Amino acid sequence: MIGYGFMGAAHSVGWRQAPAVFDLPLGVEMAVVVGRNADAVAQAAAHWGWTESATDWRSVIARDDIDIVDIVTPGDSHAEIAIAALDAGKHVLCEKPLANSVAEAEAMLAAATRASERGVKAMVGFTYRRVPAVTFLRDLIAQGVVGTVQQVRAAYRQDWLVDPQMPLAWRLQKEHAGSGALGDIGAHIIDMTQFVTGQQVEAVSGTVETIVKQRPLLGSGSGLAGVAAEGYGDVTVDDAAIFTGRLTGGALVSFEATRFATGRKNALTIEVSGDQGALAFDLEDLNSLQFYDRREPADRQGFTKILVTEAQHPYVGAWWPAGHMLGYEHGFVHQVVDFVGTLVDGTDPHPNFAEGLSVQRVLAAVEESAAQNSAWVPTGARAHE
């Protein structure tokens, strides 16, 4: 695993728990974690259960005992690491968004396509797909329970940047993150919309805003305690993005991605409305769905709660008895289960790099639309189907 921060911790839990809970077709050894700070990455290795640590990802990729490379670094290094790993014959799991630009994502897809001819697999870490309720929502839509999809509302709202004294971190610098709320959390709701509906976003109209334009520079410490008197630096990404999309099936989608939704810590929601019913998911109640069935008699209509904890529900059978809830970390466990499974059964992993590129094209189209006073911009979805 290359990188060891917040996502490194989440991925580590996935790699550690999956073999313990699920009957994986291959054994998994957490061989080495890589980071630039030797002491810090060594501590991460000891804490999360990696056998060893290293500071040179190139030498690790060259090792014969490494089969999978898991990339959890900032977006500016995704392309270089993923392409090198794929060319070296390593299977790759790469965190979202796939890259910082469409050009980088296209190069990564080209590398993945070359590697696939040698049986090498590549997957993007859109982990919310693996929340059982989200997977079940997708299944229900595919079964036709809501009828024809007519409208979707998707939002991902956080508030961790409301304080203007929050320091200037890498996620707020375009050269490292690519974009702000748009790419970081907006990518999730774009992918989730395409995943659950089975359709692509073919055009967008939107706007983005940087609400706090300068923030304190980090000193030699870490976190808020590391703020020193060096002054302020420019925020070069968006704080909030609001955009409308149209799906290839004709439905309209409203998207909101913001880090300025005061009081909202990690509020991801999606609601899919069809001519026969509707389904809604809220990450703050991640073990359930809300379902409305228009085919019920008028005196029985209303949203009802489906508790997604039965053994028949996606992934749930390996865990606990019905009603015993799963949490955020379980999506990362399921990600490992699915990825490792594809290494044996010969199927393609999903989301693959082509799906990651499709999200990247939507992100780029939103930025282009914002630069053109919210003009409608095509994503090229139909041309690349």
User: What amino acid occupies position 208?
Assistant: V
Do 155 and 42 lie in one domain? The reply is no
Find the mean pLDDT for residues 328-351: 97
Dump pLDDT digits (tens) for 53-94. Answer: 999 999 999 999 999 999 999 999 999 999 999 999 999 999
Please report which confidence band the pLDDT of residue 197 belongs to, taking 50, 70 and 90 as the band edges. very high
Residue 308 has which token pair?
């997604």
Residue 37 located in a structural domain: yes
Which of residues 68, 96, 128 is at a domain's end? 128
Dump pLDDT digits (tens) for 129-175. Answer: 999 999 999 999 999 999 999 999 999 999 999 999 999 999 999 99
Looking at the DSSP bridge assignments, the partners of residue 214 are 234
Q: How buried is residue 152: exposed, middle or buried, by Cβ count under 10 Å (0-12/13-18/19+)?
A: buried
Element (H, E) at 68: strand 68-71
Residue 57 has which token pair?
């990802």
Do 196 and 105 lie in one domain? The reply is no
CATH of the domain at 199: 3.30.360.10
Res 226: pLDDT: 42
CATH of the domain at 39: 3.40.50.720
Angle between helix axes 330-345 and 6-21 (nearest 10 degrees) is 60
Do 144 and 100 lie in one domain? The reply is no
Return d(Cα 183, Cα 237) in angstroms, integer: 10
Residue 61 located in a structural domain: yes
Do 141 and 288 lie in one domain? The reply is yes
pTM value > 0.85: yes
Q: How far is CA 302 from CA 145, 278, 294, 305, 306, in A?
A: 15, 10, 9, 10, 13
254 is in which domain, residue-wise? 131-324+351-378
User: Chain-wide mean pLDDT for the chain?
Assistant: 95
Which of residues 107, 128, 149 is at a domain's end? 128
Return d(Cα 104, Cα 188) in angstroms, integer: 19
Do 57 and 35 lie in one domain? The reply is yes
Name the 3-class secondary structure at 160.
Answer: coil
Residue 385 located in a structural domain: no
Res 343: pLDDT: 96
Which of residues 109, 128, 147 is at a domain's end? 128
Do 152 and 110 lie in one domain? The reply is no
Do 186 and 229 lie in one domain? The reply is yes
Residue 35 located in a structural domain: yes
